[in-house]
Amino acid sequence: MKKWFVSQLKSGQAVTELFVLAEKTLSHKKDGAPYLSIALSDKTGRVRGVVWDNVEQIADAAAAGDVVRVQGHISEYRGGLQVVVKGLEPAETGADPADFLPATRRNPEQMLERIKALGQAVSSDVLRGLLDAFWNDAGFVAQFKQAPAAKKMHHAYIGGLLEHSLSLALLADRVAGHYSGIDRDLLITGAILHDIGKINEFVFDTNIDYSSEGRLVSHIVIGVGMLEEKIRQIPDFPKQTALLLRHMMVSHHGSRELGSPEPPKTLEAVLLNYLDEIDAKIKGIREFMESQDADAEWTGYHKPLERFFFRGTPETQG
Amino acid sequence: MKKWFVSQLKSGQAVTELFVLAEKTLSHKKDGAPYLSIALSDKTGRVRGVVWDNVEQIADAAAAGDVVRVQGHISEYRGGLQVVVKGLEPAETGADPADFLPATRRNPEQMLERIKALGQAVSSDVLRGLLDAFWNDAGFVAQFKQAPAAKKMHHAYIGGLLEHSLSLALLADRVAGHYSGIDRDLLITGAILHDIGKINEFVFDTNIDYSSEGRLVSHIVIGVGMLEEKIRQIPDFPKQTALLLRHMMVSHHGSRELGSPEPPKTLEAVLLNYLDEIDAKIKGIREFMESQDADAEWTGYHKPLERFFFRGTPETQG
Amino acid sequence: MKKWFVSQLKSGQAVTELFVLAEKTLSHKKDGAPYLSIALSDKTGRVRGVVWDNVEQIADAAAAGDVVRVQGHISEYRGGLQVVVKGLEPAETGADPADFLPATRRNPEQMLERIKALGQAVSSDVLRGLLDAFWNDAGFVAQFKQAPAAKKMHHAYIGGLLEHSLSLALLADRVAGHYSGIDRDLLITGAILHDIGKINEFVFDTNIDYSSEGRLVSHIVIGVGMLEEKIRQIPDFPKQTALLLRHMMVSHHGSRELGSPEPPKTLEAVLLNYLDEIDAKIKGIREFMESQDADAEWTGYHKPLERFFFRGTPETQG
Amino acid sequence: MKKWFVSQLKSGQAVTELFVLAEKTLSHKKDGAPYLSIALSDKTGRVRGVVWDNVEQIADAAAAGDVVRVQGHISEYRGGLQVVVKGLEPAETGADPADFLPATRRNPEQMLERIKALGQAVSSDVLRGLLDAFWNDAGFVAQFKQAPAAKKMHHAYIGGLLEHSLSLALLADRVAGHYSGIDRDLLITGAILHDIGKINEFVFDTNIDYSSEGRLVSHIVIGVGMLEEKIRQIPDFPKQTALLLRHMMVSHHGSRELGSPEPPKTLEAVLLNYLDEIDAKIKGIREFMESQDADAEWTGYHKPLERFFFRGTPETQG
Amino acid sequence: MKKWFVSQLKSGQAVTELFVLAEKTLSHKKDGAPYLSIALSDKTGRVRGVVWDNVEQIADAAAAGDVVRVQGHISEYRGGLQVVVKGLEPAETGADPADFLPATRRNPEQMLERIKALGQAVSSDVLRGLLDAFWNDAGFVAQFKQAPAAKKMHHAYIGGLLEHSLSLALLADRVAGHYSGIDRDLLITGAILHDIGKINEFVFDTNIDYSSEGRLVSHIVIGVGMLEEKIRQIPDFPKQTALLLRHMMVSHHGSRELGSPEPPKTLEAVLLNYLDEIDAKIKGIREFMESQDADAEWTGYHKPLERFFFRGTPETQG
Amino acid sequence: MKKWFVSQLKSGQAVTELFVLAEKTLSHKKDGAPYLSIALSDKTGRVRGVVWDNVEQIADAAAAGDVVRVQGHISEYRGGLQVVVKGLEPAETGADPADFLPATRRNPEQMLERIKALGQAVSSDVLRGLLDAFWNDAGFVAQFKQAPAAKKMHHAYIGGLLEHSLSLALLADRVAGHYSGIDRDLLITGAILHDIGKINEFVFDTNIDYSSEGRLVSHIVIGVGMLEEKIRQIPDFPKQTALLLRHMMVSHHGSRELGSPEPPKTLEAVLLNYLDEIDAKIKGIREFMESQDADAEWTGYHKPLERFFFRGTPETQG
């Protein structure tokens, strides 16, 4: 069991611990002596490392992607930390994969139960039947519980897809009643299923990355295929309902520029798009704020959103 | 009291009724005889009219913008209706202005009470005090109850600003609890006040149009001035709270392209922008759907949103 | 059998002929007398019409969309022609649908044979097998021969999809050999199949328009579904080949802005996108040039492409 | 008094001098020994520094932002210079702040007199009165003389706001008479006041940066508030003149994309926007040219303007 | 000599006058009788006309583009005027072309003298020589005096190019001294010559329109060709000066989006672009304001600039 | 003659070889000792180098841009290679320039013969005559054979312009017959000449870079000047043909945003633009793919095209 994680490392500390050997490069010092420049990672982040001694032996001991046991101490280097490695060998079997990929802080089983319960509360037999078809597909459920919702930006961790889908469905549940004329069943079903294509858009064994299918076809097109497959298996599924669900999935990014071949053209699709945007952005900004210096009024620059964010300072308001 | 409104007129009908004389043009037929081409309006819409007889006398009887009593009958012309006018004279005094501008279908007093109650539920003394400062300003309240929220697109009618502000504040109330770390008081106060500048952005006596101030300065800048004025009157108003409120007003359009000099940089401002967008778009699309042929699966083309909308057909879903 | 088509009508002519009653509106003259304003269409275009006599009887005789026999004469009205209708009655049975929708000038059977032959020349058994699966699907072939390739702009007529697909496949055949490293089989298969989703994107019985499915889901997503269905039916279809074909279909519009969820990421997909663009634009510009005054150096303004086109004047060049 | 400034340092030189300790990071060498990586700045620029000895003692001696006395010598490192620090201690009191922030090369008092004189030449009593209200506000004048006009790009130094405002007002004076129908008084008053909000948009004690208010509200909104405050204090200030001035301030960036909630809608506002653009760009490009290798025909790449600039070579032209 | 111009026509008036027959269409009334729908124009504008009698004879009397003598009277039709034509025949010879195209209100000879004088004040022999080469080219001068500066928007009239070039050169003269480091000679020469390509970009005999060369190659490329031709004729013209002039012409639209293949990369080119923009926009907005209702505070909507413009109302300012 | 090229260097190797001294910077180690940081290049790429001994003597031995003989050995440094230089002196005369700039892998003479032959096959005497005028201009031919087609992205090597022009002309030849109504002669002539301005847009003696003329005027404007010059020398060259050729050159980038002052307005210009785009992109992507790790399914990120490219893995397809 891991005791020390990347995010806990401090300059000066000695450490003997399991990490993923994320990168490995053999280099030479100016005097010609070889050394090994590496990167180590676990679920809390990534740290540079360097091997000065026994370089060749250690270089041969493991491949990038392997879980390894590292012995060394921590120093500071160019404003960050690095591990000066004394020893590195393949990890004994039995390492817990959950230690090495970032994961949701919430309980996946409980989240799954909660999202299923939301589905059970849908009053349309047809839509409840569709959701059941997904829950009865054990392979799907296993991946839906594991998959991240993104490579970075928001919910970029194991269980992130489930966490995001649940949060969005709960948000949809809150908002559905605010406007008359919204088909609540459709909105909630759409919220639960909108991103299912992501289970095949990403690979996430020791690292979260896009799959070839994800890059070549996109999770929207993958998801529509998964949806159509389940609908085909349900006898007499109403055609218009199927079309409305496919449309919600196709249009949930809101515009062509953002990857939806068609923009939302029903009230439920319009609402789903905005709520998805809210859940992704609010979660992403909060993750970003948490990753920053806790005392500062302002965060650093958030490149994708092109701005700094303000957290302010405590102030007595009476 | 008006009995017949523009939206109720039917081809073949005789009518004697009050309308706003929205437009008036003297023209000549091919044989040189003069005639008068006019437009008549009330709160339900606008209709073309034509005067063949007593043209000059009628032309002198009233100016564009006046409320007039019209006598004539309805015919069809180029796919629409027109009033063939036999008589037209200034309306007797006592016409109810509410008959001539489109207005909210809801009760303004009740809406006002409800939005005040939302403000009362704000737990911060300072913010409650700020809201009270607005409610205690009778001139403000009178305009806030009357003003439209837009010239067209959504809530473009008397009372529309209040209706939109209330709907947005209620929506904010629903959503505020969904995410931890949101300052609910700030969000709701921001929702109530975000568009107050619109009371001076529009003129709305017999017609809704932009004021010179609205076109030259924008409701965002007008609103910030109104907000700063009230804050100055409250002793020891906390500086950061004032700044956060000004920021929410400045940024509520979401981006520079949409008229906000700065984009949202706090969680509450980000959320306010999305919820405002939802309320405006969902209301606007529903108004558009209602204005269209009730039996058709698809609406006509919605130019500003560049798409058709789908309403579907009833379908038994079990 | 029709003798006179819309494009042949001339001012002054008397005519008794079949047309589609494309539009029908009952109006009233200034003196209150009713008249009927209609539009008539066939495969060569559309013309306005007006009924002054027997208005009500004629108004009841047929509905918009019906094929009708019209008796009247042609006059000029506001720079265009109109049919002054004396009589109008439902067409006797037996009218040839091909007379009423614009259609390809080429022979559909021959085009189909030619595109099949191109497919036969594909050397990969797997891809040839896939193409055969489509050709063996009689329902698909029937629609593929009929469908238009667009509502307007280019190939917007019965048989347009087949004509465009064949032209693109032949163009791909010419270009494939110009660059080394191109998978010719994949490129040609992709060219043949890239737009198959259009058979469900449009409805085209008496008029070409988007279907609900087309508007809500887009032909790209429809087409991927059709492709995946056929691939599933072929045992052991190579996974990477399936992925490459799905990618070509997904990316053939070239960018997200133009409706492709992912841009082209293989050489064949990049090439397919450019060649599709060439075939659509060159055909569209030529159709536009042909629709314009034959003697003028310059066409009128082409709105979608935002320019005038130059045809020049004959010039002896030695 | 400082003798040596950053821009004058040369490799090999020994130096004992005051600088701002702009940055401070404790690091460790590969052998575990600690060292201090710092940045030093003054009004002429910024230079890296390194402390190899007495590291911990020196690290505790001063905080980032302090003015410090540094003893060391200059070496070259990765294509730039660095100070190898032997000693570093808090500066004795009495250091001149003007030594540490870049400042205008021109005389602020003279510039102030000149801009006041321009205002005196305005013939409208009302506008002259408004300008006087600003000049009589000692707190405003003190900040107006100090504030920079930007964080970088152009006039990014102490006194830059005054220098830019004066240059713009003089330019407006030259151009005003070229076109008939321009209200010269309005244009010059607008030019003098257009950027006053910048006195609160920036903080500029030892470093120029955005203030929280600047980032959250923007200098345009801040400036309008300052303008409205002064106008309120002048009895019977003409409403339209107030509106025209507010509009010039609101619209002076020229378009929404550039931060103006409304684009210029009067001749004077249109002209002010262009002249402001000229003054900012010409000054910015000249500053950039001066910062580059004096002998080269071409400057390096100017990222914000996305181009290289050409200065050419002397050439006899007769 | 013309007495009545289009802009002076009033409803009810009888008129016998020369116009350009700008358009001519033979139509038929509902009863089958033919009539002629025409447009008449002169330098002050364009008016619709209609011929009810002697239609065929009049239709044959003249072709579109001819100057014709029209006899008739003025009536109002759909909110505008129209000429009810009684007689129409080819104009006797000797009509003054200046009556039929809109033209500058200023004296072309005086403007030419003034722009030449500006050129004479250039101190560089080489640039003065270049300008002389243009002034000595009688064919060029004749066209330069006649050409419009645009088809619409600004200076869209005979002599507009000269008027715009002179105004720009005078403006450049005013601004050149404001900044040090500007090559005044180069700036003024560039201002005088920047648009010379327009003499071939437009045709302007009885109507201002683009020439084929203008549409296919653009005035920028045409102008560079004219400039290079003159430079070639001057022995030992300095290469860098030639390059700087070509660059000013190439870049004077400011960006690729606006038609300049390269953006301005010298101080003089940057300045020329802004000043050209000022002169075009200020002139265009003023022309637009003058074309609008003189009493209204606001103009109508200016489509290309996407806004209304404000002229305000007279106000006593003390 | 060079034996070792940059792309062949391997860590650990000793080398004595000619390179271009592409960069040279004198620096100091932390102990104050000077060292020299350099870059060496040849036609296959660029490598960093460092000189620890005899630094000053070697620093004086050669200037950046010189061909030098380097003696040293290769080590690895920060993930790349570097040359640890022991000796460096100016190269003996007689170094072959072709060794130092990247060059086409194809035979320039053969390419020239082939492109001339394509021109000979043009049936129009006038166009053939124009091409001959270029081929008979020895200075032009020498540069046309040498010039690169770009600084980077595609065909960025000696002979690249000729290779690209030939490839495009051959592609045009393949495609010309696919559509009726294309003037094949014009298309092929345009393809051969479209980029001739590049011979002056670049300098390419020891390094490929933009010339001042290229940056200030662009190859499109340069090329039009060269074309007009040749056309002037041909008596009675048909005006319209000249205009069509100038238009093809002006518009071949396809849109203003991409540097064409006018977009393509003839069928041939439209086609030339697309084919040029195909040839540039397909070649550029293939060069990029070849520069990447040969075993990986995916290339690295292609910044200008904003995507990764997929090469896949070999797969048996039957």
SS3 labels along chain E: CCCCCHHHCCCCCEEEEEEEEEEEEEEECCCCCEEEEEEEEECCEEEEEEECCCHHHHHHHCCCCCEEEEEEEEEEECCEEEEEEEEEEECCCCCCHHHCCCECCCCHHHHHHHHHHHHHCCCCHHHHHHHHHHHCCHHHHHHHHHCCCCCCCCCCCECHHHHHHHHHHHHHHHHHCCCCCCCHHHHHHHHHHCCCCHHHHEEECCCEEECHHHHHHHHHHHHHHHHHHHHHCCCCCCHHHHHHHHHHHHHCCCCHHHCCCCCCCCHHHHHHHHHHHHHHHHHHHHHHHHCCCCCCCEEEEECCCCEEEECCCCCCCC
Residue B98 CA to chain centroid, in angstroms?
13
Choose from A76-90, B64-78, D22-36, D299-313 the range with maximum mean pLDDT. Answer: D299-313
pLDDT at A79: 59
Residue B317's pLDDT band (boundaries 50, 70, 90)? Answer: very low
Q: Apex CA D76: angle with CA D71 and CA D79, to 5°?
A: 140
3-state secondary structure of C53: coil
pLDDT at A204: 83
- Distance (Å) from the C-alpha of residue F104 to the closest C-alpha of chain C? 16
- More confident: C80 or E18: E18
Taking a C-beta distance cutoff of 8 angstroms, is the pair C83, C49 a contact? yes
Chain C residue closest in CA terms to A219: C261
Q: Indicate whether D16 pLDDT > 70.
A: yes
B262 with D228: Cβ contact below 8 A:
no
Q: Residues A114-141: what's their mean pLDDT?
A: 96
End-to-end Cα distance, chain E: 49
* Ordered domains of chain F (ranges, CATH): 6-89 (2.40.50.140), 101-287 (1.10.3210)
Residue D318's pLDDT band (boundaries 50, 70, 90)? Answer: very low
F228: closest CA among F246, F204, F210? Answer: F246
pLDDT at E308: 95
pLDDT at E318: 42
Touch between chain E and chain A: 3 or more Cβ pairs under 8 Å: no
Number of other CB atoms surrounding residue A297 within 10 Å: 13
Share of chain D above pLDDT 70, in %: 96
Share of chain E above pLDDT 70, in %: 96
Mean pLDDT of chain C: 90
Choose from B48-62, B260-274, C8-22 the range with maximum mean pLDDT. Answer: B260-274
Residue C296's pLDDT band (boundaries 50, 70, 90)? Answer: confident
Mean pLDDT of chain D: 90
User: DSSP readout, F170-229?
Assistant: HHHHHHHTTSTT--HHHHHHHHHHTTTTHHHHEEESSSEEE-HHHHHHHHHHHHHHHHHH
E126: closest CA among E242, E44, E12? Answer: E242
pLDDT at B60: 83
User: DSSP readout, D15-30?
Assistant: EEEEEEEEEEEEEE-T
Choose from B55-59, D49-53, D234-238 the range with maximum mean pLDDT. Answer: D234-238
Q: Indicate whether E305 pLDDT > 90.
A: yes
pLDDT at E165: 98
Q: Is the ipTM of this complex over 0.90?
A: no
CA distances from F164 to D235, F4, F106, F183 (A): 74, 28, 11, 21
Residue C29's pLDDT band (boundaries 50, 70, 90)? Answer: low
Residues in chain F: 318
If DSSP states are collapsed to H, E and C, what string results for B241-263?
HHHHHHHHHHHCCCCHHHCCCCC
Tell me whether residue C80 is exposed, middle or buried, using C-beta atoms within 10 angstroms of its C-beta: 0 to 12, 13 to 18, 19 or more. exposed
pLDDT at D315: 63
Contact residues, chain D, for B225 at CB < 8 Å: 224-225, 228
Touch between chain C and chain D: 3 or more Cβ pairs under 8 Å: no
pLDDT at F234: 96
Q: Which helix (H) or strand (E) holds D303?
A: none
Touch between chain B and chain E: 3 or more Cβ pairs under 8 Å: yes
- Distance (Å) from the C-alpha of residue D205 to the closest C-alpha of chain E? 30
Characterise C141 by phi-psi region: left (phi > 0), alpha (psi -120 to 50), beta (else).
Answer: alpha
pLDDT of E44-93, one tens digit each? 888 889 998 888 888 888 887 788 999 998 887 765 788 999 999 988 77
Residue type, C170: L
CB pairs under 8 A between A and F: 24
pLDDT of C228-276, one tens digit each? 999 999 999 999 999 999 999 999 999 999 999 999 999 999 999 999 9
C27 in reach of chain B (CB within 8 A):
yes
Tokens (6 digits) for C57: 């009887």
E216 in reach of chain C (CB within 8 A):
yes
E212 with C297: Cβ contact below 8 A:
yes
Residue B77's pLDDT band (boundaries 50, 70, 90)? Answer: confident
Residue C318's pLDDT band (boundaries 50, 70, 90)? Answer: very low
Residue B182's pLDDT band (boundaries 50, 70, 90)? Answer: very high
E65/E46 Cα distance (integer angstroms): 13
Q: Indicate whether E102 pLDDT > 90.
A: no
Tokens (6 digits) for E39: 């447009």
3-state secondary structure of C116: helix
C77 in reach of chain E (CB within 8 A):
yes
Residue B312's pLDDT band (boundaries 50, 70, 90)? Answer: confident
Q: What is the pLDDT along chain F (318 residues), one digit of tens a residue?
A: 788 899 888 887 889 999 988 888 777 665 556 788 888 988 888 888 999 888 888 888 888 778 899 999 888 776 578 899 999 998 877 777 778 888 899 999 999 999 999 999 999 999 999 999 999 999 999 999 999 999 887 888 999 999 999 999 999 999 999 998 899 999 999 999 999 999 999 988 777 889 999 999 999 999 999 999 999 999 999 999 999 999 999 999 999 999 999 999 999 999 999 999 999 999 999 999 988 777 789 988 899 999 999 998 876 544
Q: Which helix (H) or strand (E) holds B309?
A: strand B307-310
pLDDT of E254-285, one tens digit each? 999 999 999 999 999 999 999 999 999 999 99
Contact residues, chain B, for E31 at CB < 8 Å: none
Nearest to F75 among A25, A28, A212 (CB): A28
Taking a C-beta distance cutoff of 8 angstroms, is the pair C38, C87 a contact? no
CA distances from F63 to A308, D313, F1, F39, F67 (A): 46, 22, 21, 12, 9
Q: Residues C82-101: what's their mean pLDDT?
A: 84
Contact residues, chain F, for A217 at CB < 8 Å: none
B56 in reach of chain E (CB within 8 A):
no
Nearest to C27 among B52, B79, B298 (CB): B79
pTM of the model: 0.88
Interface test with F, best of A25, A28, A50 (most F CBs within 10 A): A28
pLDDT at E28: 65
Q: Residues D155-167: what's their mean pLDDT?
A: 95
B250 with D213: Cβ contact below 8 A:
no
Taking a C-beta distance cutoff of 8 angstroms, is the pair C115, C178 a contact? no
pLDDT of E173-222, one tens digit each? 999 999 988 999 999 999 999 999 999 999 887 778 899 999 999 999 99
E79 in reach of chain B (CB within 8 A):
yes
Q: Residues B238-251: what's their mean pLDDT?
A: 97
Contact residues, chain A, for C259 at CB < 8 Å: 256, 261-262
Chain E residue closest in CA terms to D186: E317
Q: Indicate whether B203 pLDDT > 70.
A: yes
pLDDT at F29: 64
- More confident: F254 or A22: F254
Q: Indicate whether A95 pLDDT > 90.
A: no
C208/C161 Cα distance (integer angstroms): 12
Residue A241 CA to chain centroid, in angstroms?
30
A265 with B309: Cβ contact below 8 A:
yes
Residue E317's pLDDT band (boundaries 50, 70, 90)? Answer: very low
pLDDT at A317: 46
A310 with D28: Cβ contact below 8 A:
no
- Distance (Å) from the C-alpha of residue E294 to the closest C-alpha of chain F? 38
Would strands E202-204 and E208-210 be described as parallel, antiparallel, or unpaired?
A: antiparallel
pLDDT of C161-210, one tens digit each? 999 999 999 999 999 999 988 999 999 999 999 999 999 999 887 778 89
